[in-house]
Every structure is written in C-alpha cells, then in structure tokens.
Copies of this chain bind each other. A is one copy, B any other.
C-alpha cells in the first residue's frame, strides 16, 4: 500500500499520520488487550481522523502487523545466529537480552492479546529465513520445525513477560535452549 505511490512515502503528512498510528497502537496495547481496543480509540489517540486510519491500514490487524513486522525483523536478525552457532546458548542469551532491553514494547506486542498475530508474523519471517538456509534434519519436516520453534519461543517469551517479577534474561535463554533449540538436534 505504502509502496505503490511514491508520494506516500515522501509526503510529510502521510508519514506523520502513519507514525502516529503506530505509536498510538503500542501506547494503547500497554493498557489493554488488542480486541478491547477500537479503531476509533487508536485514531483518537493518534490525533488522527477516524477515516484516516483506513487510508493507511485495512484494519486493526493490518496495523498491528505493520508495527510488528519491523520489530520481528530485528528480533529474527538476533535469532538467526542461534542456529548457526555451535554455542546456541550464547545466541539465546543475545535474543533474550534484546527482548529485555525493549521490555515495554515487547510486553505490549506479546501480552496484549496480539500474541497470535505476532506468532504468525514470526513464523512468516522464519519461514522465509529457513527457505534461504536449507539445512535440514531428516526426521523433522521443515515447516513443522519453523512452526514449532517459532511458536515455542514466542510462548516462552509471553510467559516471561507476564511474570510480575521477571527472571533474568540468561535464565530464560537457558530455558529456550533446553526446551526448544537443543531438541532440534543441531541443525
């Protein structure tokens, strides 16, 4: 949508609204789950007309994925080395540290009722990465590998971010390593 018309990427107003909507959603996600947030609220909170929302996104979910996409892209960039490294544990630590350092953001994304959408987005990105790499283990179907590891990681992160007194990042990294990565059997 944004890429069709070159103007859209340049026009100051367009960029401004777009960014306002992104941050408004994140702001609201900190207070309550996605499905209790109305598009009208997002628009109002962004200081943007209601109709304008639809000039940028097809719906609530579309905005969420738009917001999520770039974050996930970054997260995956941190997750990638996990599978390469002999030292998977170190990589898991890196992953968790990144999440910890953006705790508020990731809490909103993962514990705000958007986890399912995030999971989808994460799987999508992971699948793309997996297609590029083509390292396989005989007993494990590739797509299941992607789905399982993505889901499990997301879910452990959700569990982590929901804790009132969160554990240390490297402790969680250990859990991910032992529960998810190691069982994949050294991809």
Interface residues of A (CB under 8 A from B): 116, 139-141, 143-144, 147-148, 151-152, 155-156, 159, 174-175, 178-180, 182-185
Considering residues A141, A175, A179, which has the most beta carbons from chain B within 10 angstroms of its beta carbon?
Answer: A179
How far, in whole Å, are A178 and B133 apart by their CA atoms in the complex? 23
Closest to A151 in B: B155
**Residues from chain B with Cβ under 8 Å of A180 in the complex:** 183
Per DSSP, chain A at the interface is helix
Contacts A139-B174, A148-B155, A148-B179 aside, 10 further interface pairs with beta carbons under 8 A come to A140-B175, A140-B178, A140-B179, A143-B159, A144-B156, A147-B155, A148-B156, A151-B155, A178-B183, A183-B183
How far, in whole Å, are A147 and B140 apart by their CA atoms in the complex? 22
**Residues from chain B with Cβ under 8 Å of A184 in the complex:** 179
Partner of A116 from B116, B143, B174, B183 at Cβ < 8 Å: B116
**Residues from chain B with Cβ under 8 Å of A141 in the complex:** 175
**Residues from chain B with Cβ under 8 Å of A156 in the complex:** 144, 148
**Residues from chain B with Cβ under 8 Å of A182 in the complex:** 183
Whole-angstrom distance between the Cβ of A60 and the nearest chain B Cβ: 13
